[in-house]
């Protein structure tokens, strides 16, 4: 506590200069919104709009600044603000515009206290009725001015990409545009990085669009509807209500629609069919108005969902082409904004059906104390899941702040798989240890409901009272899994066959509440003490049955197919009591925290510093009930948590610095603690560790970025590190004759990782036809566990250090109708073991190089081709050390002003695409291959139309 008080004293002292300058009169902000009195829409911002603040005697105080702002809810708003002396006073707000009647509004500041800003009621201006001649400006002829399209500009800390300046093939979705933006990287899972920094929120016209699920927008929003893409640090609704940054801003990419799609609607449909019975059907509809937004989309395809191949060398199709997937999906969104944006409600829904077929092959080395074993696995799986998500978000901005969301998820599992695995003493598999042939089936249903409510009241004297209530409930039922395994132990001649059935229902809920009071100590600095209380409940059952105990008819090779069950009278006799258990957990938690926030903005710089220091107490009451052991465990935990974040933008917003430090803890569960062995898998026996302690993490992050606007140059350097104390590590003993592991969880130190990244890109030439970029990344990690052979009295630490270095350069040329990109990528990974007993390769290399070209031909044809050579070296499986040439091509034709589009797409023309993954840990290294989508040619046809409201004469 002394440390916390000392830090707060330092922070308060830092704000002292703002209070010591007594010669400068203290001021407060007055701000508000300007709307049309009839339509309630925002009044347009132009040089003719004037807002003047007058004293009660009509003497002029100042002229307010006016600007256009994109609200958090997706509507464009007109905002004005002005600084006035910090004292009680009466003012007159005067609004003038040639198209509107002059409007007056009285406002009185009754009390200053700790208030630093005041939000005024909306200024409602009444439009002047004019003749049609006046509206036309006297029938003046329209003048069209053509200029060179600028790809990107900087406005303060905001990057604005002009969508029309990029050559995007007709028929592309938003991801086709995003992948062309300089300095922007689109990852396989939909994550977006701009100059090396991850985008936290992808929005549409300033509003959330399936937040956290970027692919919804990336793959369904047509690129032709996009005006520009803006990247900036966005103020949260909570901060907007407070009038200051009380929360960290979100690094946001906002997709701004063209004017004709802001009011009205647009829709498109697409259908395609190709070789190998490939098909694609897709539809998307968007409707906008001043106070609502509606989206409906859906489709079906057997193209592994990702139907747009990679244009920037990120291998988006290839790395996600694992297996053969059939997908059907429908989703939608409806947003309603009440008058003047006081209330907002958004409902989202998404339903997905899949039918997936995957073949896999892996080769692994498993590290022991002074030896290694080698494994092979070949498998096949079919998975037909169904998922549904419905989410509703409700927000109120005035007269209090309320942010409430409710999220419902339902999942149905339906999967089957087969596999064969071998374990050997040598990499040539000449001396086999064991073999497992397995078939499995799973059926189950899961449901979860999550909610969060945040309510904030602003006190008349400037402080704020915050209350929060959140919770969740979940349940799984009909959660059945079946497995038939045949284990062969070559050294002992034993064959162990098991026909198992598992019924594992579970349920649980949690409820957490907090209350805090924010003291606004200065204009820029506030502290918030908070109390929190929570309760969590979980009840999990694991009922295992050995059907093979019922006789020969229920043996693995018996007449009953997998998934069959005996009569209810016979089933209890197959109950495997020692490997079945009911687990319960009750958690009571209380915490006290002290948060601080400091921010200050000038015309050319901005600083934000925040953090929290908390002390948390948690009591766990865990129960374990089985035929072998009935017990309960009580654990009391008391741990501090620290989080500090700093952001600095300076040099006219051209340079930024980010720093963060935080720690967090994980507690062990009942299965990790209870001292009992689980033998349901004879190759992997697990047991608990009653002496297990909590695990602690410390993470550090720092980044620096700078830009030079004249040449579109941007550089970003970041460093990240995580250190684990008392990490949960897998400790085990190994029996070399049978290949059986006995494992448990152990606390161990020595696990950490560090990574660094540098991104650089810039334009070349006076007209900026050329863009060059490069990414350099490196990482080093150490993972540690403990292992021993059966009969050894002391386990040995096994440390594995993995070092990785990657480099990805690219050069792009774009002029008129041609876009040409040269690209390359290379990575090297080195593995070092503290105990090295094999001659397995320690270095793995992956590298690729190639080009992408896009050219718009006459008669509205566009050709796009991508050619890349991919090479791998250093893999244990010699078949994986190869060179593969990937070639994709697309030809599109549009007519009727782009409303109709025909596309001929050729995927993997040379049949060379393959899917391979590689990973390393303290337990071993694995090379993993799966089947992927085969090459195909597809012809598709799409149609789009736009509906715009008719203006009354």
DSSP string, 313-367: SS-HHHHT-BSEEEEEEEEEEEEEE-GGGSEEEEEEEEEEEEEEEEEEEEEEEEE
* Contact criterion met (CB below 8 Å) for 529 and 484: no
Instruction: Please say whether the dihedral angle defined by the alpha carbons of residues 724, 726, 729 and 731, taken in this order, is positive or negative.
Output: positive
Rounded Cα distance, 752 and 868, in Å: 35
Rounded Cα distance, 789 and 795, in Å: 8
């300076």: which residue's tokens? 650
Rounded Cα distance, 564 and 469, in Å: 45
Q: Which CATH class is domain 27-130?
A: mainly beta
From residue 498, give the alpha-carbon distance in Å to each of 494, 544, 558.
13, 12, 11
Rounded Cα distance, 324 and 206, in Å: 36
E-only strand ranges, 459-524 = 464-489, 494-503, 506-520
Rounded Cα distance, 627 and 638, in Å: 33
**What pLDDT shows up at residue 878?**
75
**What pLDDT shows up at residue 263?**
72
CB within 8 Å of 428: residues ≥ 6 apart: none
| Burial annotation 594-605 (CB, 10 A radius, 16+ → b, else e) | bbbbbbbeeeee
pLDDT < 50 stretches in the chain: 1-23, 71-74, 131-147, 306-320, 952-953
DSSP per residue, 833-850? ESS--S----EEEEEEEE
* Contact criterion met (CB below 8 Å) for 274 and 301: no
E-only strand ranges, 342-431 = 343-367, 372-383, 386-396, 401-424
* Cβ count within 10 A of residue 750: 17
Written as six digits, the tokens of 440 are 């499995």
**What pLDDT shows up at residue 146?**
40
Phi, psi values for residue 131, rounded to 5°: -75, 165
User: pLDDT per residue over 656-699, tens digit each?
Assistant: 999 999 998 999 999 899 988 999 999 999 999 999 999 999 99
DSSP state for residue 576 in the 8-state scheme = -
Rounded Cα distance, 419 and 360, in Å: 9
Total count of residues recorded for the chain = 953
**What pLDDT shows up at residue 143?**
37
Nearest to 184 by CA among 145, 219, 229, 139: 229
Rounded Cα distance, 542 and 682, in Å: 18
Rounded Cα distance, 593 and 531, in Å: 7
Rounded Cα distance, 665 and 662, in Å: 11
* Cβ count within 10 A of residue 183: 26
**Domain boundaries, given as residue ranges, for the chain:** 27-130, 152-262
Written as six digits, the tokens of 481 are 């899994």
CATH topology of domain 152-262: Ferric Hydroxamate Uptake Protein; Chain A, domain 1 (2.170.130)
User: pLDDT per residue over 912-932, tens digit each?
Assistant: 888 777 777 767 788 888 888
**What pLDDT shows up at residue 17?**
44
């900026």: which residue's tokens? 768
Residue 591, SS3 per DSSP? strand
């Amino acid at each position: 506590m002394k440390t916390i008080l000392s830090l707060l004293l330092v922070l308060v002292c830092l704000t002292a200069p703002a209070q010591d300058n007594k010669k400068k009169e203290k001021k407060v902000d007055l701000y508000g919104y300007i709307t049309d009195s009839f339509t309630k829409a925002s009044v347009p911002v132009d040089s003719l709009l004037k807002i003047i603040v007058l004293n009660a005697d009509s003497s002029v105080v100042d002229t307010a600044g006016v600007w256009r702002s994109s609200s958090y809810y997706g509507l464009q708003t007109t905002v004005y603000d002005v600084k006035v002396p910090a004292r009680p006073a009466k003012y007159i707000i005067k609004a003038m515009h040639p198209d509107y009647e002059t409007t007056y509004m009285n406002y009185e500041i009754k009390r200053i206290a700790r208030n630093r800003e005041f939000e005024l009621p909306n200024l409602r201006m009444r439009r002047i009725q004019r003749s049609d001649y006046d509206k036309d400006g006297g029938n003046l002829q329209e003048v069209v001015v053509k200029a060179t399209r600028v790809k990107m500009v900087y406005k303060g800390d905001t990057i604005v990409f002009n969508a029309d300046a990029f050559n995007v093939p007709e028929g592309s979705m938003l991801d086709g545009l995003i992948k062309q933006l300089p300095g922007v990287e689109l990852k396989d899972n939909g994550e977006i990085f701009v100059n090396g920094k991850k985008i936290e929120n992808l929005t549409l016209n300033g509003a959330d669009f399936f937040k956290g699920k970027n692919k919804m927008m990336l793959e369904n929003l047509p690129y032709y509807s996009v005006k520009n893409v803006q990247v900036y640090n966005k103020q949260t609704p909570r901060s907007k209500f407070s009038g200051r940054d009380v929360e960290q801003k979100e690094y946001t990419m906002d997709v701004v629609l063209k004017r004709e799609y802001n009011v009205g609607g647009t829709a498109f449909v697409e259908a395609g069919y190709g070789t190998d019975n490939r098909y694609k059907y897709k539809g998307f509809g968007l409707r906008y108005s001043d106070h609502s937004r509606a989206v409906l989309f859906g489709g079906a395809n057997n193209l592994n969902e990702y139907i747009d191949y990679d244009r920037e060398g990120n291998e988006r199709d290839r790395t996600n082409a694992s297996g053969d997937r059939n997908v059907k999906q429908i989703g939608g969104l409806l947003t309603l904004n009440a008058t003047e944006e006081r209330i907002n409600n958004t409902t989202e829904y998404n339903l997905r059906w899949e039918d997936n077929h995957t073949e896999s092959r892996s080769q692994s080395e498993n590290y022991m104390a002074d030896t290694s074993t080698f494994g092979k696995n070949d498998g096949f799986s079919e998975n037909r899941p169904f998922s549904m998500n419905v989410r509703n978000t409700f927000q109120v901005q005035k007269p209090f702040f309320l942010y409430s969301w409710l999220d419902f998820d339902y999942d149905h599992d339906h999967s089957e798989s087969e596999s064969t695995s071998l374990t050997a003493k040598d990499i040539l598999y000449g001396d086999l240890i064991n073999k497992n042939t397995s078939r499995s089936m799973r059926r189950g249903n899961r449901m979860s409901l999550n909610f969060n409510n945040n309510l904030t009241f602003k006190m008349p004297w400037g402080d704020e009272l915050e209350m929060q209530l959140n919770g969740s409930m979940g349940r799984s039922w009909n959660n059945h899994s079946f497995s038939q395994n045949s284990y062969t132990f070559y050294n002992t001649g034993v064959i162990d066959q098991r026909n198992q059935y598992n019924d594992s229902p579970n349920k649980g809920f949690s409820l957490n509440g907090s209350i805090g009071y924010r003291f606004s100590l200065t204009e820029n600095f506030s502290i918030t003490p908070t109390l929190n209380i929570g309760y969590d409940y979980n009840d999990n059952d694991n009922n295992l049955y050995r059907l093979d105990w019922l006789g020969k008819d229920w043996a693995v090779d018996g007449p009953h197919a997998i998934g069959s069950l005996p009569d209810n009278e016979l089933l209890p006799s197959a109950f495997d009591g020692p490997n079945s258990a009911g687990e319960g957990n009750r958690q009571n938690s209380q915490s006290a925290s002290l948060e601080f926030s400091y921010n200050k903005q000038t015309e050319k710089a901005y600083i934000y510093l925040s953090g929290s220091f908390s002390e948390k107490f948690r009591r766990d009451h865990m129960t374990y009930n089985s035929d072998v052991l009935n017990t309960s465990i009580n654990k009391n935990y008391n741990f501090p948590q620290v989080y500090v974040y700093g952001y600095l933008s300076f040099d006219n917003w051209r340079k930024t610095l980010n720093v963060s430090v935080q720690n967090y803890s994980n507690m062990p569960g009942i299965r990790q603690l209870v001292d009992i062995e689980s033998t349901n898998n004879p190759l992997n026996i697990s047991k608990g560790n009653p002496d297990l302690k909590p695990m602690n993490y410390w993470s550090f992050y720092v980044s620096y970025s700078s830009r030079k606007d004249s040449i579109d140059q941007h550089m970003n350097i970041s460093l990240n590190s995580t250190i684990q104390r008392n990490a949960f590590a897998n400790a085990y003993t190994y029996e070399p004759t049978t290949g059986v592991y006995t494992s448990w969880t152990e606390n161990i130190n020595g696990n950490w990782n560090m990574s660094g990244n540098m991104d650089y890109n810039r334009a070349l030439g006076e007209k900026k036809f050329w863009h060059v970029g490069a990414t350099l990344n490196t990482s080093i990690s150490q993972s540690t566990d403990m292992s021993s052979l059966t009969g050894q009295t002391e386990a040995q630490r096994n440390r594995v250090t993995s070092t990785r270095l990657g480099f990805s350069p690219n050069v792009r040329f774009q002029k008129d109708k041609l876009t040409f990109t040269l690209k390359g990528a290379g990575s090297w990974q080195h593995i070092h073991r503290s105990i090295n007993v094999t001659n397995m390769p320690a270095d793995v290399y992956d590298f690729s190089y190639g080009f992408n070209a896009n050219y718009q031909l006459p008669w509205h044809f566009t050709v796009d081709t991508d050619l890349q050579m991919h090479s791998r070296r250093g893999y244990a499986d010699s078949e994986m050390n190869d060179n593969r040439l990937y070639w994709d091509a697309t030809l599109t034709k549009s007519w009727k002003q782009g409303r109709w589009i025909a596309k001929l797409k050729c995927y993997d023309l040379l049949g060379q695409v393959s899917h391979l993954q590689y990973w390393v840990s303290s337990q071993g290294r694995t090379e993993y291959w799966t089947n992927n989508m085969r090459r195909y040619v597809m012809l598709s046809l799409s149609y789009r139309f736009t509906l715009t409201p008719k203006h009354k004469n």
